[in-house]
Amino acid sequence: MAKMEHERWRQQRNRDGWTERGRDEDEKTKPYLVPCGDLPADIRKLNREMIRALSSSLAEVGLKVVRTAPTEVGTSSSAQP
């Protein structure tokens, strides 16, 4: 899930005009607009921790993450309860 979320984030930033370079909000550049496998290990770990925290937060309110049929990155499918 962390890889999927990173790719979704990266594609969204690219569509919004961001490019990969040193971090500069005014210039719309970020150093981590690279494929997940090219991220530094500490950033990949941070991404995994974020997904685990999200899963835990969902569980606290009685929700859970489930696997669905694959969809194109950046699109969503309707979830049925």
Residue 29 near residue 17, CB atoms below 8 Å? no
User: How many separate domains does the chain show?
Assistant: 1
**Segments forming the whole domain that contains residue 37:** 2-60
Q: Is the pLDDT of residue 70 over 90?
A: no
Q: Is residue 76 part of a domain?
A: no
15: in domain = yes
Give the residues across from 24 on adjacent strands: 29
Nearest-CA neighbor of 9 among 43, 49, 27, 36? 36
In a domain, 74, yes or no: no
Residue pLDDT, tens place only, 8-29: 999 999 999 999 888 888 888 8
Asked if residue 10 belongs to a domain, the reply is: yes
Give domain status of residue 69, yes or no: no
pTM of this structure: 0.70
